[in-house]
Structure 1
Amino acid sequence: MDFHIDRSEEGSVMGRPVLTTMQPAAAVLPRLHTAHTLADASLHLAASENFIKVVDAYWETARTAQSEWSTWRIQDRLKVLRRLRMAVAEDPRALAKSVHRQNIAETLAAEVLPLLDACRFLEGEAPRILRERTIGGRGRPKWLWGNSVVLRPEPLGVVLVIGPSNYPMMLPGIQGLQAIAAGNSVLIKPAVHGTPSIQHLLTLAKSAGLPDGVMQVLPEEPEAAALAIRKGVDKVFLTGSANTGRAVSHELAESTTPCVMELSGCDAVFVLEDADLNLVSDCLLLGLTFNQSQTCMAPRRVFVRHKHADELVRLLKAKLENRVRSVLDQQQAQDGSSASTQPAGVRFSAPATRRDRMQEQLIAAAVQQGAELVVGSLAGGSCEDQIGVVVLDRVSSQMSIAQKDLFAPVLSVIRVESDSQALQENAKCPFALCATVFGSRASCHELARRIPAGCVVINDMIVPTADPRVPFGGRLMSGHGKTRGQAGLLEMTHLKAIVATRRWFKPHLHQPTVADSEVLEHLIRLEHAASPLQTLKALPKMIRATIQQVQLRSKSIDFLQERSTQGTRS
């Protein structure tokens, strides 16, 4: 199976389908117009062959560079990362401007700062995480006494990172830094419009001393990723939608290439009995507006008790209206226009020129099934005029909108009677990326342990997960494996076990005897007795069986030596 960009879905959201299936004959062709003539077809084929050669060259360079890079001491590799971090810190705005986003402050906060923090984390923690270590004797079976075990994390080789469009520099950048810190070379396939920022980062890395070929930027076309996979990368790290994950998994299955997939979310917010509703509404406002809510861990479902739901919805609606007024005032100040006639409370951003049809249908269906549209609008029974944030109240978990990976500022308020019911309703959603819990610290921790999610944030939203120590990854349809933190760094390695045995005591190499089964039987009783008394009872039986085994082996050796002597005489 091959995958390509569906142009109607690309460029803005990670949660929408980015990769879809196509016929194998056109699998790896670059983005060209349809060939209507024989000459056009020849040009199309030539371009295809050149595209394949380009990706092959990237792969060959990466493989060659990795063999040398992996021999560098970890301290020397991290010196390159430190110089890179210092270079970015000298002019962070330059890197931020290379990202395809208008808001520089948001880019500095969401892309540059987390990247540098992750880099510093590697500088300080990678030597400890990646060091070779010897396991102690605790847990070693008695019959394997003398065994020593060394665990050695080793580089994977060539790693492919497929980046998303919502955080086009930070997410693939952090994964790329972890890859090279672990001794790999890395091929980064950026999202649409993601090349400039990754290329800028690569230029700085080379200036910091990163050897050529250790990090390379592939073309943005998904065919580049498909070709790299078929050429033979050692692991794939994908951040994308569930549909993308399925398509890439199918491609990886052919070669059983391992992968880490951080996929879509439909993240839940749990509002406990003692939650601060003002704090909850502030955090929901952030989640619905930060990066246009194009964040995989942005809130999509809120579980709140009936008696608190009205107040929470009122607070959130009022804060959204205030945000709209603030945005409109800023726009008016910038362009000198007269006061806007847009109705406050239902508008947040500029009118969308293209809407996701699935989103439109899901919102309309939810309203038809009894949900209440408290923020947003449905003009003419559709969402064509819908602008910005949508808040639906009285949604049920059975509704499709509460079970889909919408990558847009759409929030469903689900009313419940208890925390247990909230957990039951949450389980009806197939996605389990992140969750947020609001309430007293003790109550939040208790509930957090029961929530099936890769990460649970308490009394905050999104921002705390930028901590470079936090591993990130989902469950169920939200993916598998981890990125970032210690777990993410270890995902960039293969764990090798080196086992050394005692020199002289190797009874398994001796001649078999009829007493072997009895020895093994008493050994099992000795090792796994239910009580110390039973262990003592098994010990003399074990000794007698072992003596018998030794005697039989001695007789066997004498017999074999005698036969050997007779054979020599004859």
Structure 2
Amino acid sequence: MEPTATPEAAATTNGKSGGGSARTVEVFNPATGKLIGTVPAMAPDEVTAAVARARAAQPAWEAAGFAERGRILRRAQKWTLDNAERIISTIVAENGKTYEDAQLAEVSYAASAFGFWAKNAPEFLADEKVKSASPFVLGRKLKVRYAPVGVVGVIGPWNYPLTNSFGDCIPALAAGNSVVLKPATLTPMTSLLMAEGLRECGVPEDVFQVTVGEGSSIGNALIDAVDFVMFTGSTEVGRKVMMRAAETLTPTAMELGGKDPMIVLRDANIERAANAAVHYSMQNGGQTCISVERVYVEEPVYDDFVARVTEKMGALRLGVPGGPAQVDVGAMTSESQTDIVEEQVNDAVAHGARAVVGGSRGEGDGNFFEPTLLLDVDHSMEAMKEETFGPTLPVMKVRDADEAIQLANDSPYGLQASVWTKDVARGEELARRIESGVVCVNDAQLNYVALELPMGGWKDSGVGSRHGAGGIRKYTKQQTLLVTKFAPTDKDVHMLPYDSPRKTKLLGRTFKFLWGRGKRD
């Protein structure tokens, strides 16, 4: 059964948000085209008011401390697991992905993230003692403190309404911030459901709120009012968000577009590489920022690799997702994104590529595109240069690893990449030559489940990172503390007035003694 939402129910889930608005957002199942619910659409002034309430609620949430916040997050972890089927049903209905994609890449991630940040926030944000080589601070206590920024605004994408939309809120809450989340209008119901869960688990009123509304109308209001913006989405929109945030000097972090290359060397385990290429390009219908979007295969193993991928991709089942094991590839969430995929495939074919598997829109009322394998591709084609964000896999033959690296780096993006070889030492050496924030050797995407590892893009793929210590410290302000416990004199030697030539010369000799010794070349 598909979940439904009414304006009244959604408004209750969303705290005070949207209560005074007559506007609504209709939510459709992209696999069937059917309306599954409506939620209130907020006006800019309502978003501003929501941020004001979040700001008023934040000090008490910060004062609750890591232990209490951790207890609440662990309750939320249990709530997520206890309500897994309900969450999966909501994600499948509004997003169009398969049951397994919702289970493995969304619910399991959220459950893991709640526990990870509850456990690690105290360590990541503990005061840091600092030692200095400067003689001027001898005897002083030096520390760095991490204080929550206040109110964090999260602008989420539609492709992962739990993992990449709500998921960014978890470390922000763990750090002691209030959070106002703006989910994509295509997929707001998952965020509203999680807001309900947080409230049941003890998150105070107004500490977490969801604001639903169209595009920049409320997005700008959110950016203007919060203390930090976390954005996940396209590079084009990310630039606009950053420009808007710059007007108020509001810091940002962004995960943006990707065109992730996979390099298969002649000594790779071809069966494993073929399985990985199919999975990591087709999982979630290819609608993943870190999907494999292009493959470079060394000439000696190209035919073998292509034959295996052709067979495996041709066996995938495309269709309306429901329960477990029903389909392999679900619907595309956005009709406009389906258009982009179709345009790129048609452009590639027009320039000489062959679609040996798929190549067309799927049948039915929903947004479907067939799993598509493109051969005879090159970098004159959009499918090899621009982010596709759909179920396509272009495979290109290369002479050697050097050509593969050159082509992999021939992109404005640098989010993730992978190298496949039995010589792992060489694989790591090649990985270091790829211009990407993350590179896997003989794997892909698995770094995302290791929450200890930072995940962020280079070049046009983002600013900052999620996960690791940096993934929560970005939601804080650094404060330096220098404490003088005992001063040997009432007037330090460097203090005004400068009325003693002897003292000045003594200081000069001291500096030369401290920093003038040793080799310089």
TM-score, normalised with respect to structure 1 = 0.75
What is the aligned partner in structure 1 of residue 284 from structure 2?
291
SS at structure 1 position matched to 2:516: coil
Residue 31 of structure 1, CA deviation: 8.1
Letter in 1 for 2:459: L
Q: Find the partner of 2:513 among 501, 506, 526.
A: 526
In 1, Cα distance between equivalents of 2:368 and 2:304? 24
Change in 2 beyond 3 A, CA 1:366/1:529: same
In 2, Cα distance between equivalents of 1:493 and 1:174? 17
**Structure 1, unpaired ranges of 5+:** 1-28, 33-46, 336-346, 380-384, 535-570
Residue 401 of structure 1, CA deviation: 2.7
Letter in 1 for 2:206: G
SS at structure 2 position matched to 1:98: helix
Residue 242 of structure 1, CA deviation: 0.9
In 2, Cα distance between equivalents of 1:507 and 1:370? 77
In 1, Cα distance between equivalents of 2:378 and 2:515? 52
Q: Find the partner of 1:508 among 470, 494, 515.
A: 494
Answer whether contact 1:377 1:386 (CA < 8 A) is retained.
no
State how 1:51-450 maps to structure 2 within 5 Å.
51-99=43-91, 100-101=94-95, 103-137=98-132, 140-222=133-215, 223-230=217-224, 232-324=225-317, 356-377=338-359, 387-440=369-422, 441-450=424-433
Answer whether contact 1:238 1:245 (CA < 8 A) is retained.
yes
Answer whether contact 1:159 1:233 (CA < 8 A) is retained.
yes
In 1, Cα distance between equivalents of 2:433 and 2:23? 47
Answer whether contact 1:448 1:456 (CA < 8 A) is retained.
yes
Residue 520 of structure 1, CA deviation: 4.4
In 2, Cα distance between equivalents of 1:520 and 1:357? 71
In 2, Cα distance between equivalents of 1:386 and 1:52? 34
Residue 98 of structure 1, CA deviation: 2.3
Change in 2 beyond 3 A, CA 1:292/1:358: closer
In 2, Cα distance between equivalents of 1:116 and 1:378? 37
In 2, Cα distance between equivalents of 1:279 and 1:239? 31
Residue 526 of structure 1, CA deviation: 1.4
Answer whether contact 2:369 2:391 (CA < 8 A) is retained.
no
1:341-399 deviation digits (Å, cap 9, x = unpaired)? xxxxxx977899777555444334333444343333479xxxxx994122222322344
Letter in 1 for 2:344: L
In 2, Cα distance between equivalents of 1:151 and 1:189? 32
In 2, Cα distance between equivalents of 1:293 and 1:56? 35
Residue 69 of structure 1, CA deviation: 1.0
Residue 62 of structure 1, CA deviation: 0.2
Change in 2 beyond 3 A, CA 1:520/1:241: same
Change in 2 beyond 3 A, CA 1:435/1:365: same
SS at structure 1 position matched to 2:397: strand
Q: Cα RMSD over matched residues?
A: 3.1
Answer whether contact 1:471 1:488 (CA < 8 A) is retained.
yes
1:47-68 deviation digits (Å, cap 9, x = unpaired)? 99x8233212211110000021
Answer whether contact 1:265 1:405 (CA < 8 A) is retained.
yes
Letter in 2 for 1:187: V
Residue 464 of structure 1, CA deviation: 4.3
SS at structure 1 position matched to 2:63: coil
In 1, Cα distance between equivalents of 2:435 and 2:101? 30
Answer whether contact 2:183 2:210 (CA < 8 A) is retained.
yes
Count how many residue pairs are aligned between Structure 1 and Structure 2: 468
Answer whether contact 1:114 1:468 (CA < 8 A) is retained.
no
In 1, Cα distance between equivalents of 2:145 and 2:329? 53
2:453 aligned with 1:475: no
SS at structure 2 position matched to 1:508: coil
1:138-162 deviation digits (Å, cap 9, x = unpaired)? xx22343233311111100000001
2:476 aligned with 1:490: no
2:438 aligned with 1:455: yes
In 2, Cα distance between equivalents of 1:297 and 1:414? 19
In 1, Cα distance between equivalents of 2:271 and 2:201? 46
Letter in 2 for 1:284: A
In 1, Cα distance between equivalents of 2:331 and 2:59? 50
Answer whether contact 1:296 1:407 (CA < 8 A) is retained.
yes
**Structure 2, unpaired ranges of 5+:** 1-21, 26-39, 362-366
Answer whether contact 1:397 1:414 (CA < 8 A) is retained.
no
Change in 2 beyond 3 A, CA 1:428/1:497: same
Answer whether contact 2:338 2:390 (CA < 8 A) is retained.
no
Answer whether contact 2:147 2:476 (CA < 8 A) is retained.
yes
Letter in 2 for 1:227: A
SS at structure 2 position matched to 1:507: coil
Answer whether contact 1:348 1:387 (CA < 8 A) is retained.
no
SS at structure 1 position matched to 2:43: helix
Change in 2 beyond 3 A, CA 1:268/1:225: same
Give the number of the structure whose residues are more often helix, by fraction. 1
In 2, Cα distance between equivalents of 1:65 and 1:518? 57
In 1, Cα distance between equivalents of 2:118 and 2:70? 6
1:123-142 deviation digits (Å, cap 9, x = unpaired)? 221111111121134xx223
Answer whether contact 2:55 2:178 (CA < 8 A) is retained.
yes
Change in 2 beyond 3 A, CA 1:81/1:348: closer
In 1, Cα distance between equivalents of 2:451 and 2:90? 23
Letter in 1 for 2:64: W
Residue 507 of structure 1, CA deviation: 1.6
Identical columns (%): 28
In 1, Cα distance between equivalents of 2:340 and 2:305? 27
Change in 2 beyond 3 A, CA 1:186/1:354: closer
SS at structure 1 position matched to 2:168: helix
Change in 2 beyond 3 A, CA 1:417/1:235: same
Residue 416 of structure 1, CA deviation: 2.0
Letter in 1 for 2:285: Q
SS at structure 1 position matched to 2:253: strand
Change in 2 beyond 3 A, CA 1:454/1:353: closer
Answer whether contact 2:266 2:300 (CA < 8 A) is retained.
no
